[in-house]
Amino acid sequence: MFFTPSGTTPSQTEFGARRGYRRVATAIALAAALTVPTLAASSAQATPIRSAADPADTVLKVATSADIDTLNPFTAILASSTGIMALQYESLTAYSAKDNSIVPGIASKWSTSKDGKTWTFTIPKGRVWSDGKPQTADDVAWTFDAIKKDPQLQQANGGLLESVKDVTAPDKQTVVLTLAAAQASNPGAELPIVPEHIWKDIKDPANFANDKNSVGSGPFTISSYSEGQSVVLKANKRFWRGAPKISGITYVYYKNTDAQVQALKTGEVDIIPANNLVAAQYNSLKGQTGITVNPGVGRRYTSLNMNSGAIDSTGAPLGDGNPVLKDVRVRTAIQEAIDNKTLFSKVLQGLGVQGQTEEPPVYPEYFGIDKKDMIPFDPKAANAQLDKAGYPKGADGIRTDKSGKPISLRLLGRSTDPTHAQMAEYIKPWLKDIGIDVTLTLESSNQVNDDSTLGKYDMYFTGFGIGPDPDFQLSINTCKSRPNADGSGALSESNWCSPEFDKLYKAQHTELDPDKRAALVKQAFGVIYKAAVNDVIWYASPLEAYRSDRFTGFDKQPAKNGVITSQNGYWGYYSATPVGTKSSGSTDASAATSAAFPAWATVLIVVVIVLILGLIVLLVVRRRRVTSDDRE
């Protein structure tokens, strides 16, 4: 093409050329050589490289895909992080593995005053934190006070303390909680108590990472955290119920569920926790040797929510919902046109329980609605009802609303949840059959939250995980739970209001008799059901799988058919028992990996890359100079 000559001797040329090619050949040989021993090394080991020195050094490896926002107990709100908090910090009371009933936690006993406003908890002597310092009532009082005083610390659990007026520790073994008003729910449940002697010296508690050698009271404490890769927990030998039987837990990140399944099969991980597997993956793990699957019973409902006329906290209209949904007859007709049974069997493949009210079947005392009140799948009745209500079908089969416009509703779903798109594929033709046109939009979780809070939807898929006490789920359906005009502020489930419901909410909130309260709770959920604002489709089974040839003895919650992970408590991991003496990896987690990619390694790689590229250029320059004389 376009070269000019320069000179060297032929013998140099030959030598140079041969050497150059040899270099290339060596490089390729090296690359190939690397793969051979790699193959040999890895295929030779079905089990990991190092054997355990001590059979008690067993670490349970949990596959996870959910991101962790923070390991700070005051600001962590994602389920993944709060789950870890539940392993590290106990609350005053706990929920039993047997049936989610309230049992002692940090407090060994408690009593309520006659008027229900004063709760007294007893902290027994002799209990210690994981670093050996004693647990006292001062820790409890400090935790409550810290949250009450600093708004930044209220992010995670501030809502739980709204009803608490005052907390005092008259002595080291007694805590007195004074409430603003009597309530049925135990105020000591669900609030993680932190060690005062650690946290009182921290200058900026809201931003404290809490991810290295944390001190806690639960069966496991955080040893280290490698963001995006792993969280390492070690067993708390000083746990008052007794040390766990495993030496630690490591959460391992896999963004890809298929990779998680492979990892379980190869033994890279020991357990895939709740709500990760989909039906096909779960079914493919059934019957594999060494692996046991546990469907569990879900405490999370999935529903189709309808915008019945969203308003903000001042009463002004919010968003752009289709006014036709303000009519309860239209909402009921829509619910009648959707066959939840088909969705349940086809999309969920039957792995769960069909939906009734928001309360999941795992809490039998609050679950269910009377058969006579249930809305059946009856498209004929739906059509008849819509005809009667004055929404005539047009020539194309689509009904027109009161102003003559054809009824077209928007359906909003999460792009990260494949079941939403799958359900929409069924809902569209069903609603077309009753004369309503549906368009689906999928957005990211945050965008769905934004739009639904601001009322910018007609229908959307939603869901919520419910704890043992239904009070919170009911509270987000009260008339008070409307957001501000900009979407901030209170959390409202359906942006719906009913004075009848509010009365029932107040009643169950203060009803101390458990049976009477259960009846009121069921009634309250029934009111929501009849309003047809939230069509609960199913409660998905959590679908867990674990290596039963490595670990066993997991306590489920509830005991009969519950889950191992994602519990209201720590029983599953706490009771994990290693099988035999096979080690599953490394040991003392206190010496564990720090940030996976240290800065010096990055710099080294950059330097190597620059060197290699420079080498290539030099090679070419030299070659060119050396041969150009022959070109005459």
Partner 1 sequence: MTATLDATESLQQITQEESRPRAASWPRYIARKGGGALISLGMVVLLGFFAFRILPGDPAISMTRGRRVSAEQVDQLRKEFGLDQPLIIQFFHFVGGLFRGDLGTSYTFHRPVAELIGSHIGATLLLTGTAAVLSIILGLWLGQRAAWKRGSLFDKTQTGLALIFWSVPTFWLGLILLLLFGGFLQWFPTGGLVTPGSNETGIALVWDVIRHLVLPVVTMVAVVYAQYLMVMRASLLEEMTADYLTTARAKGLKEDLVRRRHAVPNALLPTVTLIFLTLGGLVGGAVTVETVFSWPGLGYLTFQALSAPDLPLLQGTFVVFSSIVIIMNFAADLVYRVLDPRLKAS
Partner 2 sequence: MTAVTVRSKRSIAAARRRDRAVEVWREFARNRGGLVGLAILLVVILLAICAPLIAPATLLDVTKVDGLPNQAPTWQYPLGTDPAGRSVLLLLLWGSRISLLVGFSATIVSMVIGTLVGMSAGHFRGVGQAIILRVIDFFLVVPSLVLAIVLSTVLSRGAITIIIAIGLTSWAGTARLVRSQTLTIESRPYIERSWALGAGNAHILGKHVLPAVLPLVLAHTTLTVGSAIIAESTLSFLGLGDPTTVSWGTMLKSALDTGAATAGFWWYVLPPGIAIVLVVLCFTLVGRAFEAVINPTLRGR
Which of the choices partner 1, partner 2, none does residue 263 contact, using the CB cut-off of 5 to 8 A by kind? partner 1
3-state secondary structure of 452: helix
If the CB atoms of residues 447 and 548 are measured against partner 2, the closer one turns out to be: 447
* Residue 465 CB burial class (10 angstroms; 0-12, 13-18, ≥19): middle
If the CB atoms of residues 101 and 445 are measured against partner 2, the closer one turns out to be: 445
Which of the choices partner 1, partner 2, none does residue 158 contact, using the CB cut-off of 5 to 8 A by kind? partner 1
Stretches 256-264, 462-470, 495-503, 550-558: which one binds partner 2 (CB under 8 A)? 256-264
Residue in this structure with the two tokens 């907390």, named with its chain if needed: 167
**What separation, in Å, do the N-terminal and C-terminal C-alpha atoms of the chain show?**
14
118 binds partner 2 (CB under 8 A): no
Q: Give least dist CB 470 to partner 1, A.
A: 18
408 binds partner 2 (CB under 8 A): no
Task: Please say whether the beta carbons of 306 and 298 come within 8 A.
Answer: no
If the CB atoms of residues 510 and 590 are measured against partner 1, the closer one turns out to be: 590
If the CB atoms of residues 182 and 259 are measured against partner 2, the closer one turns out to be: 259
**Single residue of 13, 112, 415, 552 touching partner 2 by CB under 8 A:** 415
Tell me the sheet residues that pair with 168: 176
Q: Give least dist CB 284 to partner 2, A.
A: 4
**Single residue of 418, 553, 598, 614 touching partner 2 by CB under 8 A:** 418
DSSP string, 545-605: EEETTTEE-PPPBSTTT-BSSS-SSSHHHHT-EE-TT---S---GGG----SS-HHHHHHH
Planar angle of CA 522, 559, 468, nearest 5 degrees: 35
CA distance 374 to 292: 36
Stretches 92-100, 281-289, 322-330, 454-462: which one binds partner 2 (CB under 8 A)? 281-289
Q: Give least dist CB 624 to partner 1, A.
A: 5
Strand (E) or helix (H) holding 516: helix 514-530
**Which of positions 40-79 make contact with partner 2 (CB under 8 A)?**
none
280 binds partner 2 (CB under 8 A): yes
Which of the choices partner 2, partner 1, none does residue 575 contact, using the CB cut-off of 5 to 8 A by kind? none
Task: Please say whether the beta carbons of 341 and 536 come within 8 A.
Answer: no
Q: Give least dist CB 82 to partner 1, A.
A: 12
Give the count of beta carbons closer than 10 Å to the beta carbon of residue 15: 12
Torsion, Cα 299 305 308 312, to 10 degrees, reads 70
If the CB atoms of residues 103 and 280 are measured against partner 1, the closer one turns out to be: 280
Whole-angstrom Cα Rg for the chain: 31
If the CB atoms of residues 296 and 526 are measured against partner 2, the closer one turns out to be: 296
If the CB atoms of residues 100 and 260 are measured against partner 2, the closer one turns out to be: 260
Which of the choices partner 2, partner 1, none does residue 346 contact, using the CB cut-off of 5 to 8 A by kind? partner 2
CA distance 419 to 399: 28
CA distance 394 to 399: 5
523 binds partner 2 (CB under 8 A): no
CA distance 395 to 178: 66
**Single residue of 258, 370, 373, 500 touching partner 2 by CB under 8 A:** 258
x/- contact string, 214-253, with partner 2 (CB under 8 A)?
----------------------------------------
**Which of positions 336-375 make contact with partner 2 (CB under 8 A)?**
342, 346, 349
Tell me the three-class secondary structure of 114-183, residue by residue: CCCCEEEEECCCCCECCCCCECCHHHHHHHHHHHHHCHHHHCCCHHHHCCEEEEEEEECCEEEEEECCCC
Tell me the sheet residues that pair with 221: 234
3-state secondary structure of 242: coil
What tokens were used for 463?
Answer: 């869901």
Task: Please say whether the beta carbons of 536 and 375 come within 8 A.
Answer: no
Which of the choices partner 2, partner 1, none does residue 440 contact, using the CB cut-off of 5 to 8 A by kind? partner 2
Tell me the backbone φ, ψ of residue 74, rounded to 5 degrees. -85, -20
If the CB atoms of residues 443 and 549 are measured against partner 2, the closer one turns out to be: 443
Which of the choices partner 2, partner 1, none does residue 178 contact, using the CB cut-off of 5 to 8 A by kind? none
**Single residue of 243, 442, 507, 619 touching partner 2 by CB under 8 A:** 442
If the CB atoms of residues 41 and 559 are measured against partner 1, the closer one turns out to be: 41
If the CB atoms of residues 74 and 366 are measured against partner 1, the closer one turns out to be: 74
476 binds partner 2 (CB under 8 A): no
CA distance 621 to 358: 73
Which of the choices partner 2, partner 1, none does residue 24 contact, using the CB cut-off of 5 to 8 A by kind? partner 1
DSSP 375: P
Which of the choices partner 2, partner 1, none does residue 601 contact, using the CB cut-off of 5 to 8 A by kind? partner 1
**Single residue of 6, 9, 12, 416 touching partner 2 by CB under 8 A:** 416
Residues 6+ apart with CB under 8 A from 409: 322, 324, 325, 431, 436, 437, 438, 439, 458, 459
CA distance 435 to 398: 4
Task: Please say whether the beta carbons of 297 and 360 come within 8 A.
Answer: yes
If the CB atoms of residues 87 and 369 are measured against partner 1, the closer one turns out to be: 87
262 binds partner 2 (CB under 8 A): yes
Q: What is the contact surface with partner 2 in residues (CB under 8 A)?
A: 257-258, 261-262, 277-284, 342, 346, 349, 415-416, 418, 421-422, 424-426, 428-430, 440-443
